[in-house]
Structure 1
Amino acid sequence: MIQNYVSTIQINSTKAEPRSKQKIEAEVEKFRKNCKITSLKGKAVDILKVLDLSSEIYGYEYEVVEDLDLPNNVYAETDLIDRKIYIKESVYNRAAEGSTRDRFTIAHEIGHIIMHTDKIIVCRGEEIKKYEYPEWQADHFAAELLVPVSHIGDLSVDEITNKYKVSKKVAQIRKSRANSLKNPA
């Protein structure tokens, strides 16, 4: 899910307001406070509870749809104009059971709703810097929501995976981010 994108992307895509990792982390912190998600340290976020609560607070809707209602390779999608998230039923159910991929998918879609309901531009053949790429931004939002970098400390990748119920890849990326903040180059 979290992807290491090259510094620019040249595809028919969308472009968002530029956001650094620090800015996204600050937005997630504000989101956590608004949703009263306070006692996370060492615990996994109940992403379905966050979905319910944040939809009320931020005024968006979500709908769990039959799997056939979305393309095979799409687990969920966000309609930014109508402020609505569509989630495959299987994804929602697996998230309820603790599936790391599906928990991340829902957190990613929440990131789109929070950051991208205004100021998205369609680009055709234009280079987009990764910090302007909505998918990269939503990935970073999801990662920070599920594993706050400030809570990592000396946890190992396996400890992060187990405590926060994220994939090993997400845990590795978050650990790397935490280390880069401790030891800036």
Structure 2
Amino acid sequence: MTDLDAATFEGVAFLGNTLAPFFLQDPRTGSAEAEFAAVAALDVQAAGAEWPFVGEEEAARCLGMMVEGLAPSCAAGENGAFAADDDLTWEYRRLFIGPGAKPAPPWGSVYTDRECVVFGATTLELRAWMREHGVARTADEKTPEDHIGLMLALMAWLAQNQPTDLGEFLSLRF
């Protein structure tokens, strides 16, 4: 991927840094209020025109759904500030936290590991790849490296700091 231009790497980093907090942070108890508020306040047409790797119309449509989904949370806060409403919090926890079965487990190993387990062989393969490429773990020891939020953050970090490793990372199957 070293033959790509700087704008491509900037776009990859932007996407990873923009989307990672939404998977890593509980809307109510996490530390991503500023990120949620920023998306909620988007001018979807203007943002869609600047969004990388997808057409303007598709980007605006998808960003519009995000803004619409965050509107009740902004209405719940004082002076339009972000305050996660019950529906947003419930949906985040239902999808990614539990209790009970998660319809969208955030760990790659659940989908790619032969035994469909968290911290399975594919997580260990990713951990080994990170070690081989000098990538330090940034999360607590309880969160598997193959969590979608961490993978997005890693993608962004690689684009900014080790762009020669980005293509290999994106082609891995974990």
- The two structures have a TM-score, normalised by structure 2, of 0.24
Larger RCO of the pair (alpha carbons < 8 Å, separation 6+): 1
Return the structure number with greater strand share: 1
- The two structures have a TM-score, normalised by structure 1, of 0.24
